[in-house]
Amino acid sequence: MNPQLEGVEDLEGTYVFDLRTSHRTMKLNRFLWNMISAGMRESYRADPEAAMSDAGLNETEKALIRAEDWIGLIRHGASFFVLEKFARVAGRTNLEVYAMMRGESFEDFMKTRRVPECR
Amino acid sequence: MARIIGGIGTSHVPTIGVAYDKGKQEDPAWAPLFRGYKPVAEWLAKKKPDALVFFYNDHATTFFFDVYPTFALGIGERFEVADEGAGKRPLPPIKGNVDLSIHIAESLVNDEFDMTMFQDRPLDHGCASPLPLLWPHEPDWPGAVVPIAINVLQFPLPTARRCYRLGQAVKRAVESYPEDLKIVVVGTGGLSHQVHGERSGFNNEEWDMEFLDLLVKDPAKLTELRHVDYIRRGGAESAEQIMWLAMRGALEGEIRELHRNYYLATTTAMTVTLYEPA
């Protein structure tokens, strides 16, 4: 265990992205990262199944992507910072993704914010 | 001799860039943020620094986890603003200063900070989100940026103390540059926020204020904290505030806080501060 992170497992709803996770989810995170390329975005939109297979995703990962299951992807080990690139392709804002990760509707989530109009 | 004339702390929330590009400067929900940058932009316009040394983090845009540097320094006449999935932003490429970047690179490595150097790579919102709020970009940026990227994405991250020491080494590098340049150091990120998992949306205003006060009065205390302490107090992604410590290290000694704007609207406590050596 990294001593800088001792006790982090006690924090609920927090998934540390360390080298163990990164190593395990390399292909998934590369697939998500590739969405910064206009060409890769087009390939995904044209044929999502082929794009996922070409990226070497396993069946669990493909199902999570198909479902746009944001919290499922995070629990599986996606880095949020490549996940947000895929969110752009899926037409979701970060605020919408936060709400879904919390299991709340977007409007309910925004009611918990100080300036709900700030979007 | 070049010298550091001041420091800036700023959030780098990507939404700031989106709101800026959409022209939301006068939108009542956004105006308190944009207004908060004005005194800093005015100070920069008055002081006319030649370069901003930006301690920022790449968000797995310039680099991917196949090779993810702990500390990386950019060298180039220009840096493109990256496409992060939503297309290119309407900003001119960010100006660099090749000679200054190379001098800082040589000085840091000889000072035992074994940086990764990058060239011909774009910069993402870690740098590009706050930059146009600080500096005008019409017709072009008024000065250069020396980008220093710090890994705050993939653990192990550099410790808080290591970031402070990097800042101290950057100060030595700047002060050994022969040309009379005025440099401002910028630390980006934070303040409290968490953007992944069910704990998304976590904030801690009390801790944010304590952090800002300690940064001025007793930064050593902040360098003693572990990453888990930042995660617990400010939310997982607030651990990136160790980048403010790099800025503070480059200012070393007593400083005066000239400006502070804190705007917690939705999920990230968007903050901008300005410091001068006391």
Segments forming the whole domain that contains residue B79? 3-277
pLDDT for the residue A15: 98
Chain A nearest-CA residue for B228:
A5
CA of A99: how far to CAs of A76, A79, A84, B211, in Å?
A: 18, 17, 13, 27
Chain B nearest-CA residue for A109:
B201
By the 10 Å C-beta count (0-12 exposed, 13-18 middle, 19+ buried), B153 is classed as buried
Interface contact A36-B14, CB threshold 8 A: no
The reply to whether B22 touches chain A by the CB within 8 Å rule is no
> In this complex, how many residue pairs, one in chain A and one in chain B, have their CB atoms less than 8 Å apart?
144
Q: Is the pLDDT of residue A97 over 90?
A: yes
By the 10 Å C-beta count (0-12 exposed, 13-18 middle, 19+ buried), A68 is classed as middle
Point out the residues of B that are catalytic. 125, 193
Beta carbons within 8 Å of B267's beta carbon, 6+ residues apart? A94, A95, A98, A113, B193, B195, B200, B201, B203
What does the mean pLDDT of chain A come to? 97
pLDDT for the residue A17: 98
The reply to whether B59 touches chain A by the CB within 8 Å rule is yes
pLDDT for the residue A69: 98
pLDDT for the residue B258: 98
Q: For residue B275, what are the β-bridge partners?
A: B7, B257
Please give the structure tokens belonging to residue B95: 């100006």
**Residues 24 to 63 of A: which have CB under 8 A from any B CB?**
26, 29-30, 33, 35-38, 41
What pLDDT digit, counting tens, does each position of B101-150 carry?
999 999 999 999 999 999 999 999 999 999 999 999 999 999 999 999 99
Interface contact B83-A38, CB threshold 8 A: yes
Chain B residues touching residue A3 (CB < 8 angstroms):
226
Q: Is the pLDDT of residue A58 over 90?
A: yes
Q: pLDDT category, B16, cuts 50, 70, 90?
A: very high
pTM: 0.97
pLDDT for the residue B147: 98
Q: Is the peptide bond between B158 and the residue preceding it cis, with omega within 30 degrees of 0? A: no
What pLDDT digit, counting tens, does each position of B143-186 carry?
999 999 999 999 999 999 999 999 999 999 999 999 999 999 99
What pLDDT digit, counting tens, does each position of B23-40 carry?
999 999 999 999 999 999
The reply to whether B87 touches chain A by the CB within 8 Å rule is yes
Alpha-carbon span B5 to B234, nearest angstrom = 30
**Residues 88 to 117 of A: which have CB under 8 A from any B CB?**
88-89, 94-95, 98, 101-103, 109-110, 112-117
Structural domains for chain A: 17-111 (1.10.700.10)
Residue with tokens 């910069």: B123
pLDDT for the residue B67: 97
pLDDT for the residue B86: 87
Q: Domain of B86: which CATH number?
A: 3.40.830.10
Chain B residues touching residue A85 (CB < 8 angstroms):
61, 84-85
Q: What is the arithmetic mean of pLDDT over B67-77? A: 98
Interface contact B228-A6, CB threshold 8 A: yes
The reply to whether B25 touches chain A by the CB within 8 Å rule is no
Chain A residues touching residue B60 (CB < 8 angstroms):
29, 33, 79, 81-82
What pLDDT digit, counting tens, does each position of B230-247 carry?
999 999 999 999 999 999
Å between A67 CA and nearest CA of chain B: 17
Interface contact A4-B157, CB threshold 8 A: yes
Work out the number of other CB atoms within 10 angstroms of the CB of residue B259: 16
Interface test with A, best of B200, B202, B203, B230 (most A CBs within 10 A): B200
Please give the structure tokens belonging to residue B201: 């949306």
Number of domains forming the structure of chain B: 1
Q: Is the pLDDT of residue A1 over 90?
A: no
pLDDT for the residue B167: 98
Interface contact B86-A88, CB threshold 8 A: yes
Alpha-carbon span B189 to B126, nearest angstrom = 8
Q: Is A62 helix (H, G, I), strand (E, B) or coil?
A: helix
Chain A residues touching residue B159 (CB < 8 angstroms):
4
pLDDT for the residue B53: 98
Which among A17, A85, A114 is the nearest to B154, CB-wise? A17
